[in-house]
Structure 1
Amino acid sequence: MNTLYVNSGSSRPGKDDGEFTASDMLKLLRDHLGILFLFIGVAAALAASYAFLAKPIYSSDVVVRVDPPDPNALGIAPQNQQQMQQMSQTVNQIAPAEISVMQSRSVLEPVVKQFHFDVRVKPKTFPVLGQIAELFAKKGHLAPAWLGLDSYGWGGEQLQIGRLDVPPGLEDQKLDFVLLDNNQYELRDPDGDTLLRGTIGRPATANGVSILVNHVVGRPGMHFDVTRLNTLDAIALMKKTMKVAESAKDTGVVQISFNADDPALTADVANALGQAYLTAAVQARQANDTKTLEFIRGELPRLESDLKKAEGNLSAFRAKSQSVQPINEAQAYLQGSIVSMQQLATLKLQRTQALQKFTPSSPQVQNLNQQIAELESSNKQIQSRFDSMPASERQNAELTRDARVAETIYMGMVNKAEELSVRRASTSGGAHIVDNALRPYRPVKPNKSLVIAAGTGLGFFLGTFFIFLRRHAMIGVTDPMFVERRLSVPVLGEVLYSRQQAMLDHEIAVSPVEHAPLAYSGAQNGSAPKALPHVELPEHDAFAMPHVAETHRDARVLATRYPHDPAVEALRAVRTELYRDLANAPNNIVMLTGPIPSAGKSFVAANLSVLLAEIGLRVLLIDADMRRGHIASFFKQSNPGGLSEVLKGEMALGDAIRYVGVPGLSFMSCGGYPENPSELLMMPGFRNMLARMSDQFDLVIVDTPPFLVVTDAAIVASDAGSTVLVLRSGIQSEEEIEETVKKVQRSGGRLVGSVFNAIPRRPSNRRSYGYAAAYTSTFKPVN
């Protein structure tokens, strides 16, 4: 018979293919809580270990206020609004500029030299054990050596070097410092050659190396790694341990912080940084004052000459014209032009000073040129408003203006020169310390609670990521809904993994077959069985033979040993679905197959046959896997004397049918493994045998080899009225399941559904088997 694939319509409504919702996410996490908690636990433990064992880091800061620049550097205060805005912008920009100065080499290098940050000292420790021992040692208290290894450091060692100068070729190279007896030491180069020998507390010089060792805590024979860093490298490393930032925007208050594992050192270095910056600021201010004073002194003779000239011209004009003060109109002209000309003269002086430091094309000089041009244009507009004024009055006003401007500029420069002379001799100014650094008592790092919380969160994230990655990377399908959503193949039942079945599998593997088939009358004394004549099968009553009624108690079938196991209950649901579908099937032959081996076809076939027989059906179970069939072992029987012998004509059909002790159930083993199983199945005898068995029994269940491995299942599928696909959770891939479904269709089989076998008991499906457990929690094996 050649029937097509059909969909029974019992597929449960599901989500769109490929959709992964929040509920699926929660379900996945619930199913793998063990993995998730493992990641969280490990991450939290590592974070806690770091939080409690890592060296505490302390931070101390000094607060410095940066003085704004002198707004009247030449002694002439600006008058226009534009200059006031420029000075305000200069004040706002002073803090970022000074922060760069605080991180410059001129400030950091003296501190590096003062605290010997260009010399690195580290005791040589034994791998792993040495690091562990250091965690429990106290600074300055020499810890006892482990395992008698005195040459290694085990905690508490100290080496204080007051000075170390090496040739450029030995910079950034590890030198070996060996402590000897009697306060002696030896310094070796990276090749192990001795550079010098010295005494603690005394300078030593040899081979271009100069060193002063102030203090040592250690055992004779102990080794220290000593490295003289290049100054630039030492400054770069120091920048990583400090932070300079403005306390509040546009305030000029800057905070200098330094981090270290020694709280006393932290405060000392922070204060040293503040003092180093103050020294640099004073030196920079003194240098600037010196240059400004030199400029003013250079300009004063010319300004004095301009003042005398302007006053002489004014006096001569007034004597000639016999006028003393300008008239009212001239006074207005005079008032406006004096301010403008004073600003213009100030800008020109500033440009002259700027040209001593910058090129004519620099932004500073160009900005001054622009301001001068704007003022000259403004002066022309002022003068144009007084063109109608009498020439004598206008001349009088202009001469008066020139004299006043010259006097103001000259006197301002004289006063500024006196101020700079006094300020240049001062050792303060430019910046001052608001708060000195104090010794901290609490470490800033690690923040134990934050580290543990972050570690826990990281563990949760990594665990979740691993679970999702594992789900997407896993080849085997674990979700029964995939078959329904993607392939529209109904899932007849979801069979949970059974521990009892695992014990039965172990029993089958370790226990030999105890007896031969009950109705087998084949060869004896090792001779091959002869072809027996075909006989009529016994009537229904004969399948409940009294002399074999007790055999099922010893069968290794879950449905007979543990009839109330949740897996058996799930198979009863499969029995219901299958029995309901038989009304629509072309015949009563049901084939069980799967994509690949180890899906559990034989387990499902044997238990399903027992359950169908329990409802009063005459069931014949045929093991058609003539390659690896082993259903006979479930009933403690052997394979020979079954299907292969019948198809080869070596045994009569009636003699190959066995009785396994379950009322209504008959069994035909696969027989001995032949060399040509596919050819035997393609012979007309197999189809005729199935047709005859279909007439004699209410239901014929045929267990076949995997569909994707050999062609045997495809041969049987065309003769079976129903095909059930047995899948095992996590074994077969999506592609394998899809290919199996396609091959069943191409072979003419009628696929009625699938059975998802050996589903792990997970929290997300606890509800499904929880009810069964409530009814079967007290079940015991049938004796």
Structure 2
Amino acid sequence: MRRDPATTAQPEAGPNTRSAAARGNDDFINLGEIIAVLLEYKWLILAIGTFAVLVGGVVAFVSTPIYRADALVQVEDKKSAKGGLAALRDVEAVLGDTTSVAAELEILRSRMILGRVVDRLNLTVQAQPVRAPIFGAAFARRYAGLEPAPPMFGLSSYAWGGERIRVERFEVPEGMLGMPFLLQVGQDGGLALHDEEGGFVLDARVGESVSANGVSLFLSELVARPGTKFMLTRQSQQQAISQLRERFEARERGSSRVRGSGVIELALHGDDRAALVTELNEILNAYVRQNVEYRSAEAESTLAFLEAQLPELKGQLDTAEAAYNEYRQSRGSVDLTLETQSVLRSVVEADNEIVALQQKREELRQRFTSEHPQVIALDAQISRLRNRRASFEGNVSRLPETQQVALQLRRDVEVATALYTNLLNSAQQLRVARAGTVGDVRVIDSAVTAQFPVAPRKALILLLSGVLGLLGALGTVWGIRALRVVVEDPQTIERELALPVYATVPASKAEEGIERRILRGRGGKGELLAIVNPDDDAMESLRSLRTTLHFALLGAESGSVLITGPAPGVGKSFVTKNLGAVLAQAGKRVIIVDADLRKGHINKAFGVPRGLGVSDYIMGKATLEVIVKPTAVENLHMVTTGLIPPNPSELLMHPQFANMLAALEDRCDVLLVDAPPILAVSDAAIIGRMVGATLLVARAGRHPIRELEQAVKRFEHGGAAVKGFVFNGFDTRRQRHRFGYEGYHYQYKYKS
């Protein structure tokens, strides 16, 4: 690698080689580099972020608000006493006959409940006013007038708020279920119904039932302006139930520690606050009604079984009492001993339980087979009770014969009495349940709708849109930087092209202001950065270039320097005119030749008219004394382009142009020649063969390294050599970047 003395004198241009530690730092994220890139693209980031927030605001404005209505229902967690044997708690424990909340949740979501709601509220018919696209629904929601809103933007066929419609009946053929129909209000209050293809179906009026073409329609209310359109749709019951189920939620309320609370929370979502309360209350009513109806039907079934058993048990009780009384009369008054009474109680309890379980088994056999788990459990318990009773029989056999007979007869009386009494009480309870006064559920909280919508969350939408906009902006910047693989550091040029960078010129905001004033025609004589702001950082860099220019001319046959660039807009003219000024301020005799015969404009910076110049001298229309014009800077003269020719390349190849450069070199210490970009036209390659040194001006963040390499090759192919580079527009806030190659294309046109 070559080390250039000019770059070593400049603090902003680093050395030609780097230490191992510096190379190692490339593997880490450079915060300063990131901040510099963000500052460079701050307006793009701000624009994308603002646009994203605006889009989020529009989405939040037009989004339909979704409300939530909720209610509470309690499901009693108790034994099913309606089964006919409320006194037998041990049997119920075996059967597990308790109310299941999970089952109740499924019942709430079933077609049985939701279908009743759909039929009662006529949810199979949907009637909505036709709104204007995008913003129509948003404007209609915010209208609070009692009468229909006037049309906006002259769109009278759309509904803008305040419209009401109630369809009592809308019947269509089965093939038209789900098909939208268009209902338009006429000027005289009449209504015209059309199908989705615009075909006429029927005429109607509010309060009149009409039928035509297989369609039947009856409207009880309609408030709308003439010309307003409504969309009518008749769905199947299954479709309406599915839509209602999608908006409906049911879950058991309770914490993770407390389960089985028996309280069910119901919720319904939708965009109509008033309709939500009506629909959810109807779900509650349908659920409570079916629960009572189910309990009444269950009681009716069990009661029929019990009423069939009561006469038989009454007969058994009468027979047992008669036998016991007859035995006592025949034997005299027979008193049972304490031991016999104890055995009697045990036998009676066992017999009562066995008989009760057998009756329960018969009741279950009406619904289940003998292999059902509940029936098998009853059989096992009956078997255990029979074994227990058999042990009591052994105790009875040891009693005197008189006591044995009295005990057996007394046992029959008590067993029959207990069974008959229990069944009689159960039958009375079931008669009450059958009357519909008993249910397992009760409504704790009726339906109520929240004041504010639960969705969309507008603040969250705006926040997310801002975050997504920021991420999108950063992604865009990353994409631009990834695609625009350009040279940002002078060391890249020295490393890749093995050519020295004689000066690194920082970007100058003062120069940008001067250029704008000159282009607007407001720049005066001496409007030059070297004069109006000599302490600018860019001028300090050009002074260092003045010092090192001697090295660029070593071994050259002439003292002239060509300054050009790979492409337009890199600042070659800025470097030429200000370098000439600082050389003149140092006491050098300097002549600047504006050889850009297509778009030359250096004369504007010095306030010198174009007049006669290079083209005029070559064509023999002016002498050297005439074309060399003084400037406001002492020791600095310039030669303007003169008349813009139609064939600049051919004119520069004329021997007279080379003679002019040689003659001008004899009149000055340094001759600076400004030429067009080398990649745009071939003029610079022609001039390069006639000067002592060629300097290429490269702009930071503008060129891929392959573009600079191509520019150097153009000079080599033309028989000239590039001595080095001037790196212009360097951003001192940014650290070095690593880039690659991207394609480029320029146009360089004649200026009339």
Quick check: TM above 0.5?
Answer: yes
SS of equivalent to 1:726 = strand
Match of 2:677 in 1: 705
Contact 2:50 2:469 in 1 (8 A): no
Q: Which amino acid aligns with 1:506?
A: L
- For residues 173 and 185 of structure 2, what CA distance do their matches in structure 1 show? 23
- How far residue 62 of structure 1 moved from its aligned partner, in angstroms, is 1.4
1:162 paired with 2:168, answer: yes
Q: Which amino acid aligns with 2:74?
A: R
- How far residue 433 of structure 1 moved from its aligned partner, in angstroms, is 0.6
1:435 paired with 2:445, answer: yes
Task: Provide the aligned C-alpha RMSD in A.
Answer: 6.4
Q: Which amino acid aligns with 1:227?
A: T
Of 457, 461, 464, the residue aligned with 2:468 is 461
CA gap 1:697/1:161 in 2 versus in 1, 3 angstroms: same
- For residues 344 and 710 of structure 1, what CA distance do their matches in structure 2 show? 114
Match of 2:401 in 1: none
Contact 2:592 2:673 in 1 (8 A): yes
Q: Which runs of 5+ in 1 are unaligned?
A: 305-323, 384-388, 512-552, 766-783
1:502 paired with 2:515, answer: yes
- For residues 425 and 471 of structure 2, what CA distance do their matches in structure 1 show? 76
1:606 paired with 2:577, answer: yes
- For residues 635 and 205 of structure 2, what CA distance do their matches in structure 1 show? 103
Of 286, 292, 301, the residue aligned with 1:276 is 286
- For residues 107 and 651 of structure 1, what CA distance do their matches in structure 2 show? 105
Match of 2:210 in 1: 204
- How far residue 716 of structure 1 moved from its aligned partner, in angstroms, is 4.1
- For residues 275 and 213 of structure 1, what CA distance do their matches in structure 2 show? 27
- For residues 210 and 126 of structure 1, what CA distance do their matches in structure 2 show? 28
Contact 2:573 2:674 in 1 (8 A): no
- How far residue 63 of structure 1 moved from its aligned partner, in angstroms, is 0.7
Match of 2:542 in 1: 575
Q: Which amino acid aligns with 1:492?
A: T
- For residues 148 and 692 of structure 1, what CA distance do their matches in structure 2 show? 76
Equivalent runs, 1:39-58 vs 2, <5 Å: 58=67
The TM-score normalised by the length of structure 2 is: 0.66
- For residues 70 and 53 of structure 1, what CA distance do their matches in structure 2 show? 53
- For residues 550 and 416 of structure 2, what CA distance do their matches in structure 1 show? 123
Match of 2:458 in 1: 451
CA gap 1:475/1:259 in 2 versus in 1, 3 angstroms: closer
1:61 paired with 2:31, answer: no
Of 205, 227, 230, the residue aligned with 2:236 is 230
Q: Which amino acid aligns with 2:506?
A: E
SS of equivalent to 1:437 = strand
CA gap 1:297/1:153 in 2 versus in 1, 3 angstroms: same
Of 244, 252, 274, the residue aligned with 2:262 is 252
- For residues 395 and 715 of structure 2, what CA distance do their matches in structure 1 show? 120
Contact 2:62 2:135 in 1 (8 A): no
SS of equivalent to 1:113 = helix
The TM-score normalised by the length of structure 1 is: 0.64
- For residues 341 and 615 of structure 1, what CA distance do their matches in structure 2 show? 129
- How far residue 282 of structure 1 moved from its aligned partner, in angstroms, is 3.2
Q: Which amino acid aligns with 1:472?
A: G
Match of 2:328 in 1: none
1:493 paired with 2:465, answer: no
Contact 1:140 1:157 in 2 (8 A): no
- How far residue 203 of structure 1 moved from its aligned partner, in angstroms, is 3.0
SS of equivalent to 1:554 = coil
SS of equivalent to 1:501 = helix
SS of equivalent to 2:447 = coil
- For residues 574 and 612 of structure 1, what CA distance do their matches in structure 2 show? 13
- How far residue 706 of structure 1 moved from its aligned partner, in angstroms, is 3.3
- How far residue 434 of structure 1 moved from its aligned partner, in angstroms, is 0.8
Q: Could you tell which deviates more after superposition, 146-155 or 411-420?
A: 411-420
User: CA-to-partner distance for each residue in 1:270-292, whole Å, 9 max, x for gaps?
Assistant: 21121122223334445566677
1:11 paired with 2:20, answer: no
Contact 1:597 1:706 in 2 (8 A): no
- For residues 162 and 657 of structure 1, what CA distance do their matches in structure 2 show? 98
Q: Which amino acid aligns with 1:501?
A: I
1:119 paired with 2:91, answer: no
- For residues 424 and 659 of structure 2, what CA distance do their matches in structure 1 show? 127
CA gap 1:606/1:430 in 2 versus in 1, 3 angstroms: same
Q: Which runs of 5+ in 2 are unaligned?
A: 16-21, 315-337, 399-407, 735-752
Equivalent runs, 1:14-163 vs 2, <5 Å: 16-17=25-26, 21-38=30-47, 58-68=67-77, 70=79, 75=85, 94-124=100-130, 134=140, 137-138=143-144, 140-145=146-151, 152-163=158-169
- For residues 71 and 711 of structure 1, what CA distance do their matches in structure 2 show? 106
CA gap 1:298/1:713 in 2 versus in 1, 3 angstroms: farther
Match of 1:641 in 2: 614
Contact 2:248 2:266 in 1 (8 A): yes
Contact 1:593 1:726 in 2 (8 A): no
- For residues 493 and 253 of structure 2, what CA distance do their matches in structure 1 show? 62
- For residues 375 and 680 of structure 2, what CA distance do their matches in structure 1 show? 89
- How far residue 577 of structure 1 moved from its aligned partner, in angstroms, is 3.5
CA gap 1:686/1:82 in 2 versus in 1, 3 angstroms: farther
SS of equivalent to 1:236 = helix
CA gap 1:192/1:630 in 2 versus in 1, 3 angstroms: closer
1:426 paired with 2:426, answer: no
Q: Which amino acid aligns with 2:469?
A: L
- How far residue 600 of structure 1 moved from its aligned partner, in angstroms, is 2.3
- How far residue 637 of structure 1 moved from its aligned partner, in angstroms, is 2.9
CA gap 1:494/1:147 in 2 versus in 1, 3 angstroms: closer
CA gap 1:687/1:644 in 2 versus in 1, 3 angstroms: closer
Match of 1:755 in 2: 728
Match of 1:594 in 2: 565
Contact 2:546 2:579 in 1 (8 A): no
- For residues 395 and 36 of structure 1, what CA distance do their matches in structure 2 show? 104
SS of equivalent to 2:570 = coil
- How far residue 572 of structure 1 moved from its aligned partner, in angstroms, is 0.8
Match of 1:658 in 2: 628
Contact 1:5 1:744 in 2 (8 A): no
- How far residue 268 of structure 1 moved from its aligned partner, in angstroms, is 2.4
- How far residue 263 of structure 1 moved from its aligned partner, in angstroms, is 4.0
- For residues 677 and 395 of structure 1, what CA distance do their matches in structure 2 show? 148
- How far residue 436 of structure 1 moved from its aligned partner, in angstroms, is 1.2
- For residues 459 and 677 of structure 1, what CA distance do their matches in structure 2 show? 59
SS of equivalent to 1:226 = strand
- For residues 529 and 696 of structure 2, what CA distance do their matches in structure 1 show? 20
- For residues 695 and 302 of structure 1, what CA distance do their matches in structure 2 show? 146
